[in-house]
Chains A and B, each alone.
Chain A
Amino acid sequence: MSTPAGPTAYTELDLIARAQRGDRHAYGELVRRHRAGVVNVVYRMCGDAHLAEDAAQEAFVRAWQHLPGYRPRSPFRNWVYRIATNAALDAMRREPETVDLDELPLADSHAGPESAMMRKERAGLVRQAVLSLPPASRVVLVLREYEGLSYREIAEVADIPIGTVMSRLNYARSRLRRLLASELEIA
């Protein structure tokens, strides 16, 4: 006797349709599929793992509430990313101290080999530099560099024209190149 297929066997459109009808298991599978991307976007936006996890959960809750109005004209991922970036900005507004650049660990005193310490230090500098960008440019940079979205997809997520995506990306990269000039020379 064949058993009914679990949510993992469904296509994304099936899961969305089921979740729109109130199926929590289907929505759970959607959350599972997009968790990593959403958490990554939020983490790159705010620089704090726990805040990122909380904001990512908040984003999925908001997505659930607005799911009946979602139409799959654009990919679900882009739609959730849009909600996630807004949730990240809200979380940063609520807890601005989490973006305090001075609190970010630049080096680990317990680190072993020197190269590992340098890598950690470099990662801290990069994170600081990204967090110093204005939120509007940061969103565009994070979606491009860490999630690999195309200009069109970024425009859709951020709800801005493609020309604005290009100019914000250009601004973010120029600023990062100035801030990270010494690291870029070493690399």
Chain B
Amino acid sequence: MTEHVTAWLEAYHDGELHGRRLRKVEAHLECCAACRLELERLRGLAVLLQSAPAAEGLASPDRFVYQVGLRLPRRPAQPVWQRALNVGWRLAPVGLLGAWAFVQTVLVVAGVLGTAVQVGLGGDIAAGLLSVSQGASGESELGNLSGTGLSNLLPAALGVLRTGGPLGWGTTLAVALLILIGVLYWSWLASWWVRRRHLTPKGS
């Protein structure tokens, strides 16, 4: 005969055993009268416990609900700022996508204008517009940086700060904005996913 399964009988009785352990207990019960008797005692206790009736003389469900309703304190409504925050959180991805589209459009327009200037189209108008988004000597500053010694580093750095680096302030700012928008968007997605997990019941 296999080893007694007394330790697992209660879990078996409560339907909490599965898989290999369940099969092991079932196989043992088939050949062990002592464990079968123990299981019968557990079942007998469950039947005896059920013989004690439920509470009697209680209020009807409607009356109970009514009485609970009378005892419910007034719960303060959600403050306006909290509601505004909730709406803002829901609209955040739309705003981020809009900002992304705007920055992309600016970049494309700036690129088109830059190309136009290089091929000599658009003349003064395009050059004027580009001067806002690009530094005048971006590439030369990069060259200066790579070739300078330590003594020339400070003036070169000041030059980069003044002009916005090899790409110019406009483009650098646009790229930084795109990165920031991307980070914010993914953060929002992550928080949405976490929030959704919290709102979804287990096992559904």
| A residues with CB within 8 A of B | 13, 21-22, 24, 27-28, 31-32, 35-36, 39-40, 43, 49, 52-53, 56-58, 60-61, 64-65, 67-68, 71-75, 119, 122-123, 126-127, 130, 144-146, 150-151, 166, 169-170, 173, 176-177, 180, 183-184, 187
Contact = CB atoms under 8 A, between A and B. Distances in A.
Contact of A53 (B16, B41, B59, B77): B59
Interface in B15-47: 15-16, 41-42, 44-47
Contacts, number: 113
Contacts of B75: 22, 64-65, 67-68
15 contacts: A40-B55, A43-B54, A49-B55, A57-B67, A64-B75, A75-B201, A151-B14, A151-B16, A173-B10, A173-B42, A173-B45, A177-B45, A180-B45, A184-B45, A187-B48
B192 interface: no
Contacts of B77: 22
B119 interface: no
A177 B41 contact: yes
A114 B158 CA distance: 105
Contacts of A119: 51
B64 interface: yes
Given A28-B68, A72-B200, 6 more contacts: A27-B72, A32-B61, A53-B58, A61-B72, A71-B198, A71-B199
Top 5 A-B residue pairs of the complex, sorted by shortest distance between their CB atoms: A49-B55, A43-B55, A126-B52, A123-B52, A60-B68
A122 B53 CA distance: 10
A104 to B, nearest CB: 11
Contacts of B41: 177, 184
B146 to A, nearest CB: 56
A37 B47 CA distance: 19
Contact of B202 (A74, A123, A180, A187): A74
B58 A130 contact: no
Interface of B: 10-11, 14-16, 41-42, 44-59, 61, 64-65, 67-69, 71-73, 75, 77-78, 198-202
A123 B53 contact: yes
Contacts of A13: 201
A123 B15 CA distance: 26
Contacts of B47: 187
A182 to B, nearest CB: 11
Contact of A146 (B49, B198, B201): B49
A184 B42 CA distance: 10
A82 to B, nearest CB: 15
Given A32-B65, A73-B198, A176 B10 contact: no
A184 B65 contact: no
A145 B72 contact: no
B48 A183 contact: yes
Contact of A144 (B14, B48, B68, B69): B14
Contacts of A49: 55-58
Contacts of A127: 52
